[in-house]
């Protein structure tokens, strides 16, 4: 860490920490307003049905019920989806498309009254044929989820007959050159975000102006959605997301917020809608499950000549993140993770009668990575090559091809390059191998680390890649106060990832003032400048990147003022420790406060410039971050239980603005990836499409005791500065989700000698792989 | 197709059922008072002790009692006492935490402390009572197999007097017990174990905390040299109620353990279970786990009897 | 339907008189009637630990406790942990603050209170004891390692006379 930074790189306490440890942080579900009403939703028990008759008159008469919405008295509009696209769904519809979809909304004086009212709404359904399995839904005779689309394949603009191709070079030529061709079909499971705060919105009208509090990652998008659906201007909408909660990709409350706004308008009272935990499970959004058939060609020397992948992703009946949910897997993992000139990806996004599927701590790369990294392990084994050596040899490097999402899904196809920061990849792999004592432990293929009775130990490795800058743009404002302190404004919310803290550290460093001098004001669309929100790990490059540039703009203005006061050119000045002084002559200067006062109101603004061009090649930079994980496990071959002994994981983050925050984010994804493949089974009834385990007892997220002890969880970060990132920093959170799951799978293989290509490493999944159990 | 009724896995969303009348709430000070209330409001009331089962059921709309009789505050019923003749006596209102932490139980009936320590979470164990755990009668109840394997009895008080029922006869179906609607379980009695006895409870779960048992196995052995002079095997979560695996016990009783014998014992015990497929696990897996866990529990229990010091059990 | 039973609840050393419905849980009462929203209800069904409060010093799930049974009991919520007059944080809160023991913060109040009960009972726990004591508290943001570190650091602080 260079000595010149005084705030960047420090383990400073979080700015939101005090409120959170005192229980004073006010989340959306904590908001109480005078005369506020409570909301409950009536939900369809059928996965696909037409409402023949719906009669809410008895419910409306129940004392304490203030308004009931059904499709009959609700505007027939499609809420906005990703970007400015429309979703298929209406706010409330005559046809329901998944079990649990809302058919009515009730606002009442209390939750109990609202629930009682639900029982009084009379609904007659005509059940329609439904399909839940993605491969079933692709069959020509499958029932159509949205008949108006004519097929169950979601088509983004570049799709050809429902298939998205992403191609580079010539895979057939590549396979012809290979010494070995290895292929396999792998599955990747669902995962529910289980955000600690269920979907929560509060809406309040003052005349024609709407204020909406929402637990969301994309407050501006929520505002745009409201404007579009309600037919009002953005100037009449204010969306506030002071503390959003663990969105993990999925917090876009879409139609719920519009329905709450309509209820608030109809009743003339503020309305709060908070989903129960069960509702959050069944009617928000889950990770696309996927099936990947992939084929790789390798030469004896270990190099890769061709990689073909065909990925079928379940789209659900709709998605707020559209093809984004799976598509990054196409451009990162399946095309760019490994050095290979000939790659071809074919993607299918299949619509089914299940809840929205989409981004969930990762846009497709965790799914693709879980599959491709098992294939690559098999390739390394075929070559008799150490799997870590294989990754070291073939991992992507600066100048290798990459593609951003927009050209991939909209066209025209344009390959860019990954930037110089990607050269940190080999260091990630080396460091994780060193920390995990790989060379000492790895005993070769088909040789477990240890066998003791029924218990077998194994070790496995995997690498991963993910975007750290999902487009589009972002902006920020830095407003100096007259005493030399500053406020930073950005529309990106704090969702727990540490954005407030990291942004404050960057701005303080850039302005030459103190961390404690900075206020960070986030996610209030009346006040904060436009920004797309946080997703795709863009908080650092985009959100903080814009704040950094805004701080530089403010600093420049301060220097211009100081230059005038000091009688020198601004280039002669330095700003440090709240003073602006002539370089080499620190006594000859003024305080930042004096410059602010002289300037009356100094404001710095910035809109993030993008794209970035790689000077040597003139190509567009594709920002990604990378990871490498080694897992050590012990499998009990009689019970199928897996004990995870060690997780060691290395991540490139460009520059760690605050190491504690980076470590926390790594731990989050390590824990979530463990849960994903070891225990989190999202169970949907094959016949009815009903979610059978919408609760935290039967949907099993990891507990303290399921994760390794402190000394056995090692987080490593590697710093190769990204030239366009604030002080070289970039995001790494979703990337951290791409490598741990396949590392576990590869470790299990080393332990038990059987490759699990299916979707789960649960005890039953492992016993089944060992031939001791037949899966139901 | 009419209706908006809840469907599987969906109860928490649309609470249905029961009259929405505010329940009447009572805090009786004695068992007699509680009995009299239970009798008066027969069929319409629920007893509340720790609330960790009842409140969940109420939230899900499975149970909406018109009268709630809170017996948690009745004094004199949360004791844990022991004497040589009668063995262990646990008041029904003793919390699961007090059972887990009791030095007495850890020393002399460690399997029970072990089972208690694996039930729920710290927070739940602070409120849940042993009486509540037993009377809720979930097939997977953690204390049940241990109590059955210890030969425990349930002492019941009703308006007509008291009676004692063997714990293995106390459970009559999933969520059902031998209690009549105007009776209360007041005490759990565990007879003294012969010397060189020890027990083990193994709970098979997916996660290492919070989970209900997919299969639960409790084994208590009494050794005479290398021979098992007695053995009791109880299984949880693999039948409509917790059960004794009597045929498996028969094969093992008065024998020395060998690998082959244990194989047969495990296999037989698995055959005595009748597990179901549900969202938590498959019948096949459960049955296989019965065999694996019975074998392991027997081995561990036998090992434990060899320790010369007082055994504290396999506790955290 | 609206709560009509007047009840006295002692929360954080203060007496509140509230009118509650007989089926109202302590969690809902704290949050909705007393405005003490520090206690969280991530699942509201007893499966996550986020609603943990201390009743007579013991950690319990407030979502599975009826408000009416709490009359006469001493309830401690997260809002009552810091010194009321000076605002000085409890060592556990200090440790969480200094070491980034939280991300989204929803599990934090329940986690801190459960940890307090542990340290009140066992002032020098080892790592295993911390993990066991907090095993009923879910952290979806995956900060188990960090939280363990914070609790152990708090224990040192308390032992060191902080």
Least Cα separation, residue C148 to chain A (angstroms): 8
- State the total domains in chain B: 3
What band does A596 get if pLDDT is binned at 50, 70 and 90? Answer: very high
pLDDT at A510 over 90: yes
Q: What is the pLDDT of residue A80?
A: 83
Same domain? For B59 and B148 the reply is: no
Looking at every residue in chain B, the average pLDDT score rounds to 90
Q: Which chain C residues are closer than 8 Å to A19 by Cβ?
A: 105
Same domain? For B141 and B179 the reply is: yes
User: What is the distance between the alpha carbons of residues A464 and A626, in angstroms, rounded to a whole number?
Assistant: 6
Average pLDDT over residues A491-516: 96
The domains spanning A17-25+472-607 and A31-128+197-245+251-283 adopt the same CATH topology: no
Q: Which chain B residues are closer than 8 Å to A277 by Cβ?
A: 12
Name B162's bridge partners.
B157
For every residue of A81-114, DSSP letters joined together read: -STTPBPS--SS-SEE-STT-EEEEEEESSHHHH
- Whether B186 maps to a domain, the answer reads yes
Average pLDDT over residues A51-70: 97
Sheet holding A209-214, edge to edge: A65-69, A102-108, A37-43, A271-274, A200-206, A209-214, A237-240
Residue of B nearest to A703 (CA): B209
DSSP state of A543: I
Average pLDDT over residues A482-509: 96
Residue A611: cis peptide before it, omega within 30 degrees of 0? yes
Supply angle C-alpha B4, B5, B11, rounded to 5.
125
CA distances from B25 to A194, A365, C59 (A): 35, 55, 24
Residue A412: cis peptide before it, omega within 30 degrees of 0? yes
Strand A518-522 versus strand A486-490 pairing type: parallel
Which strand (E) or helix (H) includes residue B90? strand B87-91
User: What is the distance between the alpha carbons of residues C54 and C110, in angstroms, rounded to a whole number?
Assistant: 9
Strand A713-718 versus strand A642-652 pairing type: parallel
* Residue spans per domain, chain A: 17-25+472-607, 31-128+197-245+251-283, 286-412+422-470+617-769
Q: Does C77 touch chain A (CB under 8 A)?
A: yes
From A694, A703, A774, residue closest to B284, measured CB to CB = A774
| Chain C interface disruption, residue of A15, A16, A18, A23, most C CBs within 10 A | A23
Subunit partners of chain C (3 or more CB pairs within 8 A): A, B
User: What is the distance between the alpha carbons of residues C145 and A708, in angstroms, rounded to a whole number?
Assistant: 8
Neighbouring C-beta atoms of residue A76, cutoff 10 Å: 10
- Whether B300 maps to a domain, the answer reads yes
User: What is the distance between the alpha carbons of residues A405 and A470, in angstroms, rounded to a whole number?
Assistant: 8
Q: Does A496 touch chain B (CB under 8 A)?
A: no
CB–CB of A353/A315 below 8 Å? no
DSSP state of A493: P
User: What is the distance between the alpha carbons of residues A309 and A293, in angstroms, rounded to a whole number?
Assistant: 6
Q: What is the pLDDT of residue B53?
A: 95
CATH of domain A286-412+422-470+617-769: 3.30.365.10
CB–CB of B177/B271 below 8 Å? no
For every residue of C62-76, DSSP letters joined together read: GGGSBGGGGTTSEEE
B14/A685 CB distance under 8 A: no
What band does A83 get if pLDDT is binned at 50, 70 and 90? Answer: low
Instruction: Identify each DSSP E strand in C12-134 by its residue range.
Output: 14-20, 52-55, 58-61, 74-76
From B6, B13, B280, residue closest to A276, measured CB to CB = B13
Percent of chain A with pLDDT over 70: 99
Entry pTM:
0.96
A119/B16 CB distance under 8 A: yes
We report the CATH number of the domain holding residue B98 as 3.30.465.10
CB–CB of A670/C142 below 8 Å? yes
Residue A472: cis peptide before it, omega within 30 degrees of 0? yes
Looking at every residue in chain A, the average pLDDT score rounds to 95
pLDDT at B13 over 50: no
Mapping DSSP to helix (H, G, I), strand (E, B) and coil, where does residue A286 land? strand
What band does A579 get if pLDDT is binned at 50, 70 and 90? Answer: very high
**Ramachandran bin of A611, using left for φ above 0, alpha for ψ from -120 to 50, beta for the remaining angles:** beta
For this structure, is A60 an active site residue? no
Residue with tokens 């304490």: A64
Number of H helices, E strands in chain B: 12, 14
* Residue spans per domain, chain C: 5-80, 91-159
Q: Which chain C residues are closer than 8 Å to B60 by Cβ?
A: 45
CB–CB of C8/C33 below 8 Å? no
Which strand (E) or helix (H) includes residue A460? strand A455-467
We report the CATH number of the domain holding residue B53 as 3.30.43.10
CB–CB of A294/A181 below 8 Å? no
pLDDT digits (tens, 9 = 90+) for B65-124: 889 999 999 999 999 999 999 999 999 999 999 999 999 999 999 999 999 999 999 999
CB–CB of A455/A634 below 8 Å? yes
CB–CB of B128/B121 below 8 Å? no
The tokens for C134 are: 């907090």
Least Cα separation, residue A688 to chain C (angstroms): 25
- Whether B75 maps to a domain, the answer reads no
**Ramachandran bin of A4, using left for φ above 0, alpha for ψ from -120 to 50, beta for the remaining angles:** alpha
From B12, B209, B281, residue closest to A705, measured CB to CB = B209
How far, rounded to the nearest angstrom, does the alpha carbon of residue C8 sit from its chain's CA centroid?
A: 20
Instruction: Identify each DSSP E strand in A428-496 by its residue range.
Output: 450-452, 455-467, 475-480, 486-490
Which residues does B contribute to its contact with C (CB < 8 Å)? Answer: 12, 20, 22-25, 27, 48, 51-52, 55-56, 58-60, 68, 70, 72, 97, 120-124, 126-127, 208-210, 316
Residue with tokens 């009346």: A526
Q: What is the pLDDT of residue A3?
A: 60
CA dihedral A100, A101, A104, A105 (to 10 degrees): 80
B206/A762 CB distance under 8 A: yes
pLDDT at A1 over 50: no
User: What is the distance between the alpha carbons of residues A736 and A740, in angstroms, rounded to a whole number?
Assistant: 7
DSSP state of B44: T
pLDDT at B9 over 50: no
The tokens for B249 are: 């016990």
User: What is the distance between the alpha carbons of residues A390 and A401, in angstroms, rounded to a whole number?
Assistant: 19
Sheet holding C74-76, edge to edge: C14-20, C5-11, C74-76, C52-55, C58-61
Q: Which chain B residues are closer than 8 Å to A774 by Cβ?
A: 284
Q: What is the pLDDT of residue C40?
A: 98
Q: Which of B127, A707, B96, A705 is nearest to C129 (CA)?
A: A705
pLDDT at A687 over 60: yes
Same domain? For B209 and B186 the reply is: no
User: What is the distance between the alpha carbons of residues B121 and C47, in angstroms, rounded to a whole number?
Assistant: 9
CATH superfamily membership of A31-128+197-245+251-283: Aldehyde oxidase/xanthine dehydrogenase, a/b hammerhead (3.90.1170.50)
Same domain? For B107 and B180 the reply is: yes
Average pLDDT over residues A606-620: 92
Cα-flanking dihedrals φ and ψ of residue C113, to 5°? -70, -40
User: What is the distance between the alpha carbons of residues B101 and B95, in angstroms, rounded to a whole number?
Assistant: 10
- Contacts (Cβ under 8 Å, ≥6 apart) of C87: none
Which strand (E) or helix (H) includes residue B234? strand B227-236
User: What is the distance between the alpha carbons of residues A342 and A344, in angstroms, rounded to a whole number?
Assistant: 7
User: What is the distance between the alpha carbons of residues B56 and B12, in angstroms, rounded to a whole number?
Assistant: 10
Same domain? For B181 and B204 the reply is: no
- Whether B180 maps to a domain, the answer reads yes
User: What is the distance between the alpha carbons of residues A687 and B7, in angstroms, rounded to a whole number?
Assistant: 13
Give the range of the structural domain holding residue B38, as residue numbers without chain letter: 24-70
Neighbouring C-beta atoms of residue B208, cutoff 10 Å: 18
Q: Which of A369, A379, A506 is nearest to A15 (CA)?
A: A506
Dihedral sign of CA atoms A207, A213, A216, A219 in order: positive
CATH topology of domain C5-80: Ubiquitin-like (UB roll) (3.10.20)
- Whether B4 maps to a domain, the answer reads no
Kindly name the residue from A60, A734, A764, A768 that is annotated as catalytic.
A734
What band does C3 get if pLDDT is binned at 50, 70 and 90? Answer: low
Name B155's bridge partners.
B164, B187
The tokens for A410 are: 């909209």
Supply angle C-alpha C22, C28, C34, rounded to 5.
100
CA-derived radius of gyration, chain C: 16
**Ramachandran bin of A470, using left for φ above 0, alpha for ψ from -120 to 50, beta for the remaining angles:** beta
Q: What is the pLDDT of residue A242?
A: 86
CB–CB of C56/C73 below 8 Å? yes
- Whether B11 maps to a domain, the answer reads no
Average pLDDT over residues C3-20: 90
Which strand (E) or helix (H) includes residue C5? strand C5-11
Q: Which chain A residues are closer than 8 Å to B209 by Cβ?
A: 703-706
| Chain C interface disruption, residue of B121, B138, B207, B211, most C CBs within 10 A | B121
Q: Which of A317-326, B270-279, C13-22, C29-38 has the least mean pLDDT? A: A317-326
From A122, A125, A774, residue closest to B1, measured CB to CB = A125
For residue A516, count CB atoms less than 10 angstroms from its CB and return exposed for 0-12, middle for 13-18, buried for 19 or more. exposed
pLDDT digits (tens, 9 = 90+) for A464-489: 999 987 677 899 999 999 999 999 99
CB–CB of A50/A130 below 8 Å? no
Percent of chain B with pLDDT over 90: 84
- Contacts (Cβ under 8 Å, ≥6 apart) of A160: none
Q: Which chain A residues are closer than 8 Å to C78 by Cβ?
A: 21-23
Instruction: Identify each DSSP E strand in A592-641 by its residue range.
Output: 603-607, 624-636
CB–CB of A740/A715 below 8 Å? no
Q: Which chain B residues are closer than 8 Å to A678 by Cβ?
A: 206
Interface of C with A in 102-161 (CB under 8 A): 102-109, 112, 127-128, 131-132, 134-149
Q: Does B56 touch chain A (CB under 8 A)?
A: no
pLDDT digits (tens, 9 = 90+) for A144-161: 999 999 999 998 889 999
CATH topology of domain A17-25+472-607: Aldehyde Oxidoreductase; domain 4 (3.30.365)
CA-derived radius of gyration, chain A: 27
For every residue of B263-281, DSSP letters joined together read: HHHHHHHHHH------SS-
The CATH class of C91-159 is mainly alpha
- Contacts (Cβ under 8 Å, ≥6 apart) of A708: A644, A645, A646, A647
What band does B310 get if pLDDT is binned at 50, 70 and 90? Answer: very low
- Whether B5 maps to a domain, the answer reads no
């Amino acid at each position: 860490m260079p000595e010149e930074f005084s705030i960047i790189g420090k383990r400073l306490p979080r700015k939101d920490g005090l409120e959170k440890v005192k229980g004073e942080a006010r989340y959306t579900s904590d908001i109480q307003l005078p005369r506020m009403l409570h909301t409950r939703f009536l939900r369809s028990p059928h996965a696909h049905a037409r409402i023949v008759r719906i009669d809410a008159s008895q419910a409306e008469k129940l004392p304490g019920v203030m308004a009931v919405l059904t499709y009959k008295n609700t505007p027939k509009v499609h809420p906005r989806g990703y970007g400015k696209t429309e979703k298929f769904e209406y706010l409330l519809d005559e046809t329901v498309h998944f079990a649990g979809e809302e058919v009515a909304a009730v606002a009442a004086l209390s939750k109990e009254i609202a629930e009682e009212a639900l029982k009084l709404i009379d609904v007659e359904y005509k059940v329609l044929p439904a399909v839940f399995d993605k491969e079933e839904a692709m069959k020509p005779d499958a029932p159509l989820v949205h008949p108006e689309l004519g097929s169950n394949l979601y088509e983004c603009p570049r799709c050809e007959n429902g298939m998205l191709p992403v191609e580079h070079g010539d895979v057939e030529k590549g396979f012809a050159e290979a010494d070995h061709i290895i292929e396999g079909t792998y599955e990747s499971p669902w995962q529910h975000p289980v955000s600690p705060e269920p979907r929560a919105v509060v809406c309040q009208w003052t005349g024609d102006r709407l204020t909406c509090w929402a637990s969301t990652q994309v407050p501006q998008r929520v505002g745009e959605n409201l404007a579009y659906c309600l037919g009002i201007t953005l100037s009449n909408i204010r969306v506030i997301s002071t503390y959003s909660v663990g969105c993990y990709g999925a917090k876009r409350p879409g139609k719920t917020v519009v329905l709450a706004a309509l209820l608030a308008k109809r009743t003339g009272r503020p309305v709060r809608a908070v989903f129960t935990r069960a509702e959050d499970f069944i009617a928000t959004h889950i990770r696309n499950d996927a099936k990947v058939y992939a084929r790789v060609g390798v030469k004896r020397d270990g190099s890769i000549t061709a990689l073909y992948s065909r990925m079928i992703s379940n789209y659900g009946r709709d998605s707020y993140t559209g093809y984004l949910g799976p598509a990054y897997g196409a451009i990162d993992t399946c095309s760019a993770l490994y050095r290979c000139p000939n790659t071809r990806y074919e993607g299918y996004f299949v619509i089914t009668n299940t809840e929205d599927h989409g981004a969930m701590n990762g846009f497709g790369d965790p799914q693709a990575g879980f599959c491709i990294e098992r294939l690559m392990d098999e390739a390394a084994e075929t070559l008799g090559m150490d799997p870590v050596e294989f990754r070291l040899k073939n991992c992507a490097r600066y100048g290798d091809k990459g593609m951003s999402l927009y050209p991939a899904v909209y066209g025209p196809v344009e390959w860019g390059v990954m930037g110089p920061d990607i050269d940190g990849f080999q260091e990630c792999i080396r460091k994780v191998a060193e920390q995990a004592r790989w060379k000492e432990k790895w005993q070769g293929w088909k040789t477990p680390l240890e066998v003791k009775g029924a218990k077998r130990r194994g070790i496995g490795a995997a690498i991963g890649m993910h975007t750290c800058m999902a487009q589009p743009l972002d902006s920020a404002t830095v407003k100096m106060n007259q005493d030399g302190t500053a406020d930073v404004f950005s529309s990106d919310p704090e969702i727990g990832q540490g954005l407030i803290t990291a942004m404050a550290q960057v701005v303080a460093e850039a302005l030459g003032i103190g961390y404690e001098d900075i206020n960070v004001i986030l996610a209030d669309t009346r006040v904060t400048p436009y920004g797309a929100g946080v997703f795709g790990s863009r908080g650092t490059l985009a959100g903080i990147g814009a704040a950094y540039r805004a701080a530089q703009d403010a600093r420049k203005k301060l220097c211009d003022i100081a230059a005038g006061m000091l009688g020198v050119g601004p280039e002669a000045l330095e700003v440090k420790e709240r003073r602006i002084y002539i370089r080499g002559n620190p006594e000859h200067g003024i305080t930042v406060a004096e410059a602010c006062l002289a300037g009356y109101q100094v404001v710095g603004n910035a809109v993030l410039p993008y794209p970035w061009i790689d000077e040597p090649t003139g190509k567009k930079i594709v920002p990604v971050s990378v990871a490498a994980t080694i897992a050590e496990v012990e499998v009990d071959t009689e019970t199928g239980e897996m004990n995870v002994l060690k997780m060691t994981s290395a991540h490139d983050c460009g520059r760690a603005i605050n190491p504690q925050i980076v470590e926390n984010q790594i731990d989050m994804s390590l824990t979530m990836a463990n849960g994903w493949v070891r225990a989190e089974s999202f169970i949907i009834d094959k016949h009815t499409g009903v979610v059978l385990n919408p609760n935290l007892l039967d949907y099993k997220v990891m507990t303290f005791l399921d994760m390794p002890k402190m000394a056995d969880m090692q987080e490593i970060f590697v710093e190769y500065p990204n030239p366009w990132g604030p002080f070289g920093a970039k995001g790494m959170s979703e990337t951290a989700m791409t490598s741990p799951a396949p590392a576990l799978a590869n470790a299990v293989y080393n332990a038990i000698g059987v490759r699990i290509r299916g979707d789960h490493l649960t005890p039953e999944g492992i016993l089944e792989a060992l031939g001791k159990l037949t899966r139901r | 197709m009419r209706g908006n009724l809840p469907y599987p896995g969906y109860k928490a969303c649309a609470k249905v059922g029961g009259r929405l009348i505010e329940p009447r709430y009572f805090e009786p000070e004695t068992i007699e008072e509680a009995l009299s209330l239970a009798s008066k409001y027969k069929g319409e009331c629920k007893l509340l002790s720790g609330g960790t089962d009842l409140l969940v059921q109420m939230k899900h709309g499975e149970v909406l009692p018109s009268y709630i009789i809170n017996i948690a505050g009745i004094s004199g019923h949360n004791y844990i006492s022991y004497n040589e003749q009668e063995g262990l006596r646990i008041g029904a209102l003793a919390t699961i935490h007090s059972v887990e932490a009791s030095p007495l139980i850890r020393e002399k009936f460690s399997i029970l402390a072990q089972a208690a320590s694996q039930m729920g979470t710290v927070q739940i164990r602070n409120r849940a009572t042993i009486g509540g755990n037993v009377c809720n009668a979930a097939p997977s109840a953690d204390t049940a197999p241990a109590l059955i394997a210890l030969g425990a009895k349930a002492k019941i008080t009703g308006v007509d007097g008291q009676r004692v029922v063997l714990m293995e006869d106390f459970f009559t179906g999933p969520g059902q017990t031998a209690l009549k609607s105007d009776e209360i379980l007041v005490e759990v009695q565990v007879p003294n174990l012969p010397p060189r006895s020890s027990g083990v409870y193994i709970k098979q779960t997916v996660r290492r905390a919070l989970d209900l048992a997919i299969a639960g196995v409790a084994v208590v052995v009494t050794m005479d040299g290398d021979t098992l002079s007695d053995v009791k095997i109880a299984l949880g979560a693999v039948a409509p109620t917790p059960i004794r695996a009597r045929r498996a016990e028969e094969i093992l009783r008065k024998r020395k353990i060998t690998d082959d014998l244990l194989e047969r014992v495990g296999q037989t015990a698995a055959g005595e279970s009748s597990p179901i497929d549900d969202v938590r696990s498959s019948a096949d897996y459960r049955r296989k786990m019965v065999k694996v866990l019975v074998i392991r529990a027997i081995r561990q229990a036998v090992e434990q009897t060899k320790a010369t010091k007082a055994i504290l059990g396999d506790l955290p | 339907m609206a709560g009509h039973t007047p009840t006295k609840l002692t929360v954080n050393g203060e007496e509140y008189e509230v009118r509650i419905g007989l089926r109202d849980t302590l969690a809902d009462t704290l949050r909705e009637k007393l405005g003490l929203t520090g206690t969280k209800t991530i699942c509201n069904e007893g499966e996550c630990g986020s609603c943990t409060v201390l009743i007579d010093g013991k950690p319990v799930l407030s979502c599975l406790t009826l408000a009416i049974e709490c009359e006469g009991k001493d309830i401690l919520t997260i809002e009552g942990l810091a010194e009321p007059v000076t605002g000085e944080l409890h060592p556990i809160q200090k440790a969480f603050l200094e070491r980034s023991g939280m991300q989204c913060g929803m599990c934090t109040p329940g986690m801190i209170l459960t940890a307090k009960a542990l340290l009140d009972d066992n002032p020098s726990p080892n790592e295993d004891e911390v993990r066991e004591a907090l095993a009923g508290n879910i952290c979806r943001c995956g900060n188990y390692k960090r939280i363990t570190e914070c609790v152990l650091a708090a224990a040192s602080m308390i032992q060191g006379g902080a």
